[in-house]
Amino acid sequence: AGGVLVPLTDKLLVIDAVKSLGLKVILAARGSLGTINHTLLSIEAIQKRGLEVAGVVFLDPGEIQTSRELLEENMEAVKQFSGITVAGVIGHIRDFSDPGRDYMSVLDTMFHF
């Protein structure tokens, strides 16, 4: 959807729609440079509206070539400063009938939020 503060209509943000549904939030965060600030700001905005962040999943589509080391540092920083569970990283999925072990591991973690 592009972010929690993205307008859906001229009066409704994504975060407002989520709140109206009474859902917990699993935040999808980009894995590249700048994500710590962006992710922590998103978590703050979600919590400020009284919503629960159940967890964070990092996305690495592979286009930016983020190193695994940077991804790990980003995930650890978000977990440290937010106290929110970080499920892991999901890379680009070419075949949804066989998404791969990494995806299934993250999915398993998300179901336990």
As a whole number, mean pLDDT of residues 67-94 equals 88
Q: Residue 34 and residue 26: Cα distance in Å, rounded?
A: 19
Q: Are 52 and 24 in contact (CB under 8 A)?
A: yes
Residue 44 has a pLDDT of 97
**What sign does the dihedral 72-76-82-88 (CA atoms) show?**
positive
The 3-state DSSP class for residue 56 equals strand
Question: Each residue of 34-54: pLDDT tens digit?
Answer: 899 999 999 999 999 999 999
Amino acid at 36: I
- Domains by residue range for the chain, with CATH: 14-110 (3.40.50.300)
89 strand-pairing partners: 58
Q: Between 29 and 62, name the one with better pLDDT.
A: 29
